[in-house]
Amino acid sequence: MQFIDIHGHYAWDIDDGIQTKEDAIKALNVAKANNITSIVATPHVIPGAHTKKDIEHLKERIQELKQLAQNNHIDVYQGCELFLNHDCIQSLQNGLYIPIENTSYLLVEFDVRKELGSQDEVEDYLYEIEVAGYTPVIAHVERYFKDELDIERISDFVESGYVIQVNASSLLGVHGKTVKNNAYRLIDKGLAHIIATDTHRCEGHRIPRMQETFDILSKSYHYQVLKTLMFDNPQHILHNEEVEEIEIKKSFLKKLLTRR
């Protein structure tokens, strides 16, 4: 199967992701080996810190990545990962963000060091994204809960039409047991829409391990569920279409219970 990776810091020397062009080449090679055919480059954008000039610089570097990825026959699309803080409304008003390839989808993140439950403004920020005309794609939702997922709150996000993205690295256990369990639970509850790599490096754990993730998840989930999470829904985003909700068949519950 081919994969589309809508979240990754492949564009070099512009955030805490890949630092050099050489490493970007290596990361693209890993992506290719993992059957990733399309990438959305999503450098971090911090409201209050990034200027218009910075945004232009990010876009230029993404264009350079696009050229580079042609050698790997990987299509590169532009985007960003907008950090939602108290300056984000100003940034939205001033156009200081990059939606996913001119669609109405915008990848957003909260502070992973903080428990989502302790942040009152989350829903307000997400609403502001809607007011600006975008559907939030919420990055690595499993990472905002240090203890247990707040299923009700996440269900409200989904009911509001927001897109829930889970990291492949979380499913592989890179961020610890709780985050791993959270990531699986989001899928099991039908609350995840997309799996993406959130690639930051060309070696180690935070590389584009999409095929490896697919192979492991194949033991527990139907092919169609994984195809929706790792190809169809990412493609819907790129085509500016609505995403599909995944449905976990009851017959698989037994397998789920014996999986981990």
The binding site for Fe ion (CB under 5 A) comprises: 81, 198
Indicate the pairing of strand 44-45 with strand 81-83: parallel
Q: Which is nearer to Fe ion, 32 or 44 (CB)?
A: 44
Q: Which is nearer to Fe ion, 91 or 220 (CB)?
A: 91
Q: Which is nearer to Fe ion, 136 or 225 (CB)?
A: 136
Q: Smallest gap, in angstroms, from Cβ of residue 252 to Fe ion? A: 30
Q: Which is nearer to Fe ion, 200 or 236 (CB)?
A: 200
Q: Smallest gap, in angstroms, from Cβ of residue 237 to Fe ion? A: 15
Q: Which is nearer to Fe ion, 111 or 188 (CB)?
A: 111
Q: Smallest gap, in angstroms, from Cβ of residue 7 to Fe ion? A: 6
